[in-house]
Structure 1
């Protein structure tokens, strides 16, 4: 029997179910995840339509377990004639006397820079009041200045801003405060002239700087950016030693990471999963937030990741042998150890292949879609496996068009796949692999 091929722009099977996404419109950077009592608040840049001329708002979702999210009305919207009249862009949140205080970038189209603003929520994070500027705009040699990140350390509040300077390269600019209101310039927390590190463009500027403390080390997470090519990759490095950036996610579609310094699971990272398909292939929505990731440092000081433990509660029953299973758009496949291939076969002509070989994991999506809009390539990471970790060699999460693969050594690869053939799909896997259907 011939399966019907769905229009890849409207296919329901491509819509993620347990990743945060808008029912319609555009989503990009996650912002300001924060725990308040039993609730987790996550904000994100969003537009109610796919029209990129519409100013960015702060969308809002809450959860009690980090995997089942409830969407709410936008918590912040641009004020016509105000300091964010053309968009409420990226930033983070902190608790200020029991209230949630946001720091973010206010966009005004005719200004070359986004001003650093603050606003307070008096209703438990559902909405924020009027904004005011707290940091002066930069000097003329800045090519970019945006995306504040605020945290408390050693009795002081610190504010980092992503920046780039014509004569100094990418930079994290640092300010200090005792009361979250008045800020004093400290200087650059870290800087790096543009170059290549580990095969990655280190960027002319750094967007979305995030600061984590792991093993008593201050670890920065930045998004490398350049004026001619825009976003590149998310990188991490220790700010207290010579800057040596390393890639955070080894897939094709992870950008603009947002950190929680403290959570019930320890330090966490969220990211924006970009579309992985041409603009003409979009329907009425675009953009997804990654699974929240517990993070730690590897022996090489790179940032390693695993999904939050509560993702296990999405499983609908006990694991079964994966080889030969049929699946819908939401599933998990785990390979405990060893080598081999996991193939999710969407049809006779569409498949995605995850290969474990020696110390390397590869995702091949060159045949994942017949859609003319879908991107097709291979991605690979070495030093992928740690048999002594107690984690599966590979955990594969499929959620509609989202594919996230975590390895036992803490490597992660995030990408997007767009099969035109609707389920039922078939899994081919090593004999020891396990399979679960997932349902939120």
Structure 2
């Protein structure tokens, strides 16, 4: 049996093929997805190695279909002696008179806050020029201030910064500009003292604020964070009514969402899928970007998700009955309706179980790996099914160590699994379930 050990290269079956990731090094937050003509640009925080002291740069991929991505040289790197010397941290991009302009956080390890910077690309997004600071540093009661998000609405440019303030909790700090050059402080767009809502810690501060307009409502997506616990969950809420944060992804490994307000498929969301294994289990790479998701509001005002339609082009042929199929590390399994279990048997001792009942979908990875470094446990989403939607009750995507499950009501659970046994693997599924091999 093939074991995953620290200090060795990951066995091939654990490497994602159609999810975005660099061939080596450390990847985390997606940044600035943007359509320019027929091309899609996506940037991401990246280090060429796993050592965390190495400054973060902006990695870069492009695509014409949101499915097959081309990796390019990093588009942005820290400027020695500049305001981002120790790292180009998260932000987003916009089109400014045909040029791609980035807004992002510049990190200096001897300063308490990141500077809000802007830089312009004059070569179609392949590289960015020198940065300059556009927002002053925050007041002393800020415990965090980073991750700008810029968008245009009602004839003005708006800039939101993720923040947290002592005694005030998570905050989205808002600025306005007529020309992207001069910014005026507006005030908190949304703010919430730290609390527990629907079982979720709302955080001492909010990272990676994103603003979407859905059903003519302003919906914020934030990543809850605290000094003692670090990152927690991605939450969404309507900023114009009393805040009721709700979880965006019900899995264990989705963080730092990045939004596209507009695309050929409508509003989209990307996320960073964290490792789901102890640091001692890493080898030469870590981190992956989620599948892009079409998003909308549910009846309860929560953010719902579905796989981007072009993902179907990865299917190698017509679907076949899933029960009894053998599979490699890339596949899709769809359950059109009803209840039951989909089990991917990696071996007699390793398996992952997706259970559907009348109301909930559950992913159980308790027995998914014999590796001592792999994380385990169960995750569940309720209000999971909408038979009138026209979508399958569940679509299950396996890509190496990545597992993403989407339901007909728009719930999604993202997690990581690390079977030590290489394929072929066996699928057990309800009689109506369909199976496809996916070829990148």
Please indicate, yes or no, whether the TM-score normalized by the shorter chain is above 0.5: yes
Counterpart for residue 7 of structure 1: 4
3-state SS, counterpart of residue 370 of structure 1:
coil
Contact 1:359 1:385 in 2 (8 A): yes
Which whole-Å CA distance do the structure 2 matches of 1:187 and 1:7 have between them? 50
Encode CA deviations 1:235-255: one digit per residue, 9 max, x unaligned. Answer: 000000011100000000000
3-state SS, counterpart of residue 79 of structure 1:
coil
Encode CA deviations 1:182-232: one digit per residue, 9 max, x unaligned. Answer: 100000000000000110000000000000000000000000000000000
TM-score, reference length from structure 2: 0.99
Contact 1:250 1:412 in 2 (8 A): yes
Contact 1:8 1:419 in 2 (8 A): no
1:8 is displaced (CA, Å) by: 5.3
1:426 is displaced (CA, Å) by: 0.4
Which whole-Å CA distance do the structure 1 matches of 2:34 and 2:382 have between them? 33
1:358 is displaced (CA, Å) by: 1.1
Counterpart for residue 260 of structure 1: 260
Which whole-Å CA distance do the structure 2 matches of 1:54 and 1:88 have between them? 11
Encode CA deviations 1:312-335: one digit per residue, 9 max, x unaligned. Answer: 000000000000000000000000
**1:111 and 2:111 correspond:** yes
Alignment of 1:145-184 (within 5 A): 145-184=145-184
1:7 is displaced (CA, Å) by: 2.8
**1:434 and 2:434 correspond:** yes
3-state SS, counterpart of residue 13 of structure 1:
helix
Contact 2:34 2:40 in 1 (8 A): yes
Counterpart for residue 273 of structure 1: 273
Encode CA deviations 1:359-397: one digit per residue, 9 max, x unaligned. Answer: 010000000000000001000010000000000000000
3-state SS, counterpart of residue 179 of structure 1:
coil
Counterpart for residue 312 of structure 1: 312
Alignment of 1:34-53 (within 5 A): 34-53=34-53
Encode CA deviations 1:33-74: one digit per residue, 9 max, x unaligned. Answer: 000000000000000000000000000000000010010000
Counterpart for residue 201 of structure 1: 201
Shifted more, 109-118 versus 8-17: the winner is 8-17
Which whole-Å CA distance do the structure 2 matches of 1:410 and 1:140 have between them? 41
Encode CA deviations 1:256-275: one digit per residue, 9 max, x unaligned. Answer: 00000000000000000000
3-state SS, counterpart of residue 310 of structure 1:
helix
Encode CA deviations 1:324-351: one digit per residue, 9 max, x unaligned. Answer: 0000000000000000000000000000
**1:353 and 2:353 correspond:** yes
Counterpart for residue 212 of structure 1: 212
Which whole-Å CA distance do the structure 2 matches of 1:109 and 1:362 have between them? 42
Which whole-Å CA distance do the structure 2 matches of 1:8 and 1:337 have between them? 40
1:11 is displaced (CA, Å) by: 1.1
1:6 is displaced (CA, Å) by: 3.7
Which whole-Å CA distance do the structure 1 matches of 2:315 and 2:91 have between them? 33
Which whole-Å CA distance do the structure 1 matches of 2:4 and 2:31 have between them? 32
Alignment of 1:60-99 (within 5 A): 60-99=60-99
**1:376 and 2:376 correspond:** yes
Which whole-Å CA distance do the structure 2 matches of 1:34 and 1:160 have between them? 18
3-state SS, counterpart of residue 311 of structure 1:
helix
Contact 1:6 1:422 in 2 (8 A): no
Which whole-Å CA distance do the structure 2 matches of 1:274 and 1:89 have between them? 17
Which whole-Å CA distance do the structure 1 matches of 2:389 and 2:141 have between them? 47
Counterpart for residue 394 of structure 1: 394
Counterpart for residue 32 of structure 2: 32
C-alpha RMSD over aligned residues = 0.6
Which whole-Å CA distance do the structure 2 matches of 1:50 and 1:5 have between them? 23
1:168 is displaced (CA, Å) by: 1.2
Counterpart for residue 338 of structure 1: 338
Counterpart for residue 140 of structure 1: 140
Which whole-Å CA distance do the structure 1 matches of 2:161 and 2:82 have between them? 21
Which whole-Å CA distance do the structure 1 matches of 2:13 and 2:200 have between them? 34
1:5 is displaced (CA, Å) by: 2.1
Structure 2, unmatched stretches of 5+, are none
